[in-house]
Copies of this chain bind each other. A is one copy, B any other.
Amino acid sequence: MIEAIVSGEILKTISRAIVALVSECRIHFLNKGLHSRAVDPSNVAMVIVDVPKESMESYRVDEEKVIGVDMNRIFEISKTMTVKDLVELSVQDETNLRIKFGAVEYNLALIDPSAIRKEPKIPELNLPAKIVLDAKEFKRAISASEKISENVILRSDKNSFTIEAKGDVEKITFTMTGSELIEFNGGEARSMFSLDYLKEFCKIAGAGDLLTIYLGTNYPGRFSFELVGGKVRVEYILAPRVES
């Protein structure tokens, strides 16, 4: 038997984080908390979601379990919740996830996890640059960049972290030096990424959320968001684009 009580805000956040990449996914009810990960259909990005049990109002897992769900459905229903709603998730048999909030009880048929695309291994990446900044700053750089281009180059050197986008007649450079960043190791890195993906990733972040970026050169990047006051961690791993 599985029973978890989370805030509406947490369910809104994790469902939005996942539907950015896939519709159907597995959810792991682990002893230490909720976990989910998935790769998008074009194999360009991976999402990893963790909600430790300490972030929930209540969490009870008799035995660790994996279920398969249509996360789009949960995302739609989460829109009718308020952030402060207490939402009870429970799995009582092999066929059904029950979501209760206020006077509403929502029941969703489970999908056989084996029918969902194989779960990715989290790759081991050797990424020399680490950058920590307010997610809102990154979001703004991405919003501005997508006005003029489809890609951005993320660069790090010993002095600063830079985001660069180029249009036909215009160019945007977002630069933060080590002292302007929350944390920065000055590692050397340079990779190009698709703005379509980065824009989707940013949708989950609000003011005050922390974003940690790990970068290499022509290598996948890791974008790790601390959300809902640190209660939820969402990490995206994104394949680089080849610079032409």
User: CB within 8 Å of B: which residues of A?
Assistant: 70, 73, 76-77, 79-80, 102-109, 137, 140-141, 143-144, 147-148, 169-176, 180
**Chain B residues within an 8 Å CB radius of A175:** 103, 105
A76-B147, A147-B76 known; A172 vs B141 contact (CB < 8 Å):
no
Cα distance A102–B148 when bound, in Å? 18
The answer to whether B170 touches A109, judged by C-beta atoms less than 8 angstroms apart, is yes
A102-B137, A104-B174, A141-B103 known; A169 vs B70 contact (CB < 8 Å):
yes
Which of chain B's residues has its CB closest to A139's CB? B80
Cα distance A235–B69 when bound, in Å? 40
Which of chain B's residues has its CB closest to A172's CB? B106
**Chain B residues within an 8 Å CB radius of A173:** 104-105, 107
The answer to whether B174 touches A105, judged by C-beta atoms less than 8 angstroms apart, is yes
- What's the number of copies of this chain in the assembled complex? 3
Max chain B Cβ within 10 angstroms of own Cβ: one of A103, A140, A170 = A103
* Shortest CB distance A195–B (Å): 13
**Chain B residues within an 8 Å CB radius of A105:** 172-175
Sample of 21 A–B contacts (CB below 8 Å): A70-B169, A76-B147, A77-B144, A77-B147, A80-B140, A80-B144, A80-B147, A102-B137, A103-B141, A103-B180, A104-B140, A104-B141, A104-B144, A104-B172, A105-B173, A106-B170, A106-B171, A107-B170, A107-B171, A107-B172, A109-B170
Q: Which of B73, B169, B174, B180 contacts A169 (CB 8 A)?
A: B73
Which of chain B's residues has its CB closest to A164's CB? B105
Cα distance A180–B102 when bound, in Å? 11
The answer to whether A103 touches B137, judged by C-beta atoms less than 8 angstroms apart, is yes
**Chain B residues within an 8 Å CB radius of A104:** 140-141, 144, 172-174
The answer to whether B106 touches A144, judged by C-beta atoms less than 8 angstroms apart, is yes
The answer to whether A103 touches B170, judged by C-beta atoms less than 8 angstroms apart, is no
* Shortest CB distance A100–B (Å): 9
